[in-house]
Chain A
């Protein structure tokens, strides 16, 4: 079945450092890809998404490009802030009627001042 693999954390960076969180997937068909973020004590919220090959999703300085040839959707940010400290989840939506999200295990990011 479909699956998502994320790099393991935790990731610890200093403020203004460059961030990459790797995400690769396996899927039949053409899934939509998402990054969700979970801030401490809160639910998940959509960070960005891409729906077809070569699409780039972007939001709040974060970017990710849907690479079908490498089945990847890596999350990047050029300069992280303390407020970016959170858990980041890569996910895809299966084809078919069930809008189930298939999740990576999440990557915890801590940004130090």
Chain B
């Protein structure tokens, strides 16, 4: 089954404690990205990756890092989480980054709370 898998689904952590949210896709997609979803602000792109070892900032990259060492994995790293990073996070993957009409597949989301 084609899917994007995020872990964990829920996470409560304390300010400053480094954490990683994992994302893995089994569709051999080249393009992967991270979004955060906040009430009243919708979904905003954090980082994206066009392929292995190619990553770039989205609209709200501050406080986040990513890596793309393998095609299937695209972890999101919060080196020093702060309460304003409390949010619902989604990982997404898309085939054929040069074709804007292709569908994005989303993970089930990670609800992060930073206290």
**A residues within 8 Å of B by Cβ?**
31-32, 34, 36, 41-46, 49, 51, 89, 93-95, 97-101, 103-106
Contact = CB atoms under 8 A, between A and B. Distances in A.
B31 A99 contact: yes
Interface residues of B, number: 29
Say what secondary structure dominates the interface of chain B.
strand
A94 B100 contact: yes
A42 B50 contact: no
Interface stretch (B67-75, B79-87, B106-114): B106-114
A97 B98 contact: yes
Say what secondary structure dominates the interface of chain A.
loop
Contact of B42 (A34, A98, A105): A105
B100 A103 contact: no
Contacts of B40: 105
Nearest to A4: B42
B62 interface: no
Nearest to A1: B59
B56 A98 contact: yes
Contact of B100 (A89, A99, A105, A106): A99
A46 B108 contact: no
B78 to A, nearest CB: 20
Given A46-B104, A97-B97, A104 B33 contact: no
Contact of B103 (A42, A49, A100, A105): A49
A98 B103 contact: no
A108 to B, nearest CB: 11
Interface in B36-77: 40-45, 48, 50, 56, 58-59
